[in-house]
Amino acid sequence: MKKQFEKIRLIVCDIDGTLYDWDRILSERTIWVINELHDRGYGFGIASGRPYEELVDYAGRWGFPFQFDVLIGQNGAELYSLKQDKLYEYYKLSPAVLKKAVEVMKQFECNPFMYWHQKLLCVKVDAMIRKSAKTAEREIVVADDISKLYEEENVKIMFRMTEEETARAEAWLNNHPDPDYAALKTQSTLIEFMDPRISKGFALEQLHEMGEYALEEIMAFGDTTNDNAMIETAAWGVCLKNGSDDTKAIADDITRYDCKHDGFADYIEEHLF
C-alpha cells in the first residue's frame, strides 16, 4: 500500500457516473469490493444529490447485509451517521432565493422541478421529468403556477434541459456568481441551485468536526462539478476516467477505467487491497 493511503479509514463515493453508469446497475466486481472494504474494517459511504430518504434504502437494494457508514444527501445538505444513527440537516434556500433562481433561469430553455413533500414538483411533464420521477420513485405533481416552486423554503431547486443548453447555462452562471446561491451542473442535463455553504465537501468537514473521521482518513471518488469540493476536502480525491475536465483538474488521481468498466473497483483493488 502506498504511504498516502495508510491512514485511510473511510471511502466516500458519488453514485451516478462514479459507482455505475446511467443504467444504474452495480456490477458484481463493485459489490465484491464494497463488501471487502467492510470486511477489512474500512468505512464506506455514498454521496449524492438525491435525498437521504432514497439513499437509506440503497445498501439493502444493492444486496449488502449492512448499512453504509455515511450517507450524504442533497449534495451535502443532509448527513447521516450510522455510528450515531442520526440524520443532520443543514441550510435551505429561502422562498426569495428560490424565486431568484427561477427568474435567472428563464433565459434558458429548461424545466424547473424540486423534491417536495415526498413528491416531485414541476411545472410541466416531459420525458426527462418522467425519468427523474421514476429514478426517485416519486409521484409527479404539476404546479398550477410556477410560483408554487417558491412558496416555501427548500434545500434546492433543479432545472432539466438539453446538454447544449446545460453547457450554455453553466457558462453564464459561472460568469455571473451570486452570493445567495451556488449553481452547479450535477449531470450533463441538470443544473442545481443550493445554499452556497452546502457541498459534499461541507459534509466531510462536518464528519471531521464530529470527531468521526479526520479529513486525512477520507478517500473520495466523483466524476463531475458537484463532487469537486468533496474531492478537494478529502485527503485523497479521485476522479473517474469518464469525469468532467474541471473535476480531473483538481483530483489527486484519475482512475484507469471509466464507470462502465469498474473504474472505482479497479482503483480500490490496486491501491488499498
Please give the pLDDT value at position 164: 97
Q: Classify the phi-psi angles of 242: left when phi > 0, otherwise alpha if psi is within -120 to 50, otherwise beta.
A: alpha
- Treating both helix axes as pointing N-terminal to C-terminal, what angle do 28-39 and 263-271 enclose, rounded to 10 degrees? 40
Please give the pLDDT value at position 265: 98
pLDDT band at 1; cut points 50, 70, 90: low
* Burial zone of 167 (CB within 10 Å; 0-12 exposed, 13-18 middle, 19+ buried): middle
- Looking at residue 181, the DSSP 8-state letter turns out to be B
* pLDDT at 219 exceeding the cut of 70: yes
The predicted-structure confidence for 179-218, as pLDDT tens digits, reads as follows 999 998 888 899 999 999 999 999 999 999 999 999 999 9
Q: How far apart are CA 140 and CA 153, in angstroms?
A: 19
What mean pLDDT comes out for the span 74-97? 97
Average pLDDT of the chain, as a whole number: 96
Task: Provide the CA 247 distance to its chain's centre, in angstroms.
Answer: 13
Q: Which residues contact 3 (CB under 8 A, 6 or more apart)?
A: none
Please give the pLDDT value at position 135: 84
The predicted-structure confidence for 91-150, as pLDDT tens digits, reads as follows 999 999 999 999 999 999 999 999 999 999 999 999 999 988 988 889 999 999 999 999
What are the C-alpha distances in Å from 238 to residues 91, 227, 244?
27, 10, 12
Q: What is the set of domains in the chain, with CATH numbers?
A: 3-90+198-271 (3.40.50.1000), 95-194 (3.30.1240.10)
* pLDDT at 2 exceeding the cut of 90: no
* pLDDT at 3 exceeding the cut of 80: no
DSSP 228-245: HHHHHHSSEEEE-TTS-H
DSSP 53-110: HHHTTHHHHTT-SS--SEEEEGGGTEEEETTTTEEEE---B-HHHHHHHHHHHTTS--
Q: How far apart are CA 107 and CA 70, in angstroms?
A: 38
The predicted-structure confidence for 8-39, as pLDDT tens digits, reads as follows 999 999 999 999 998 889 999 999 999 999 99
- For residue 140, the cross-strand partners are 120
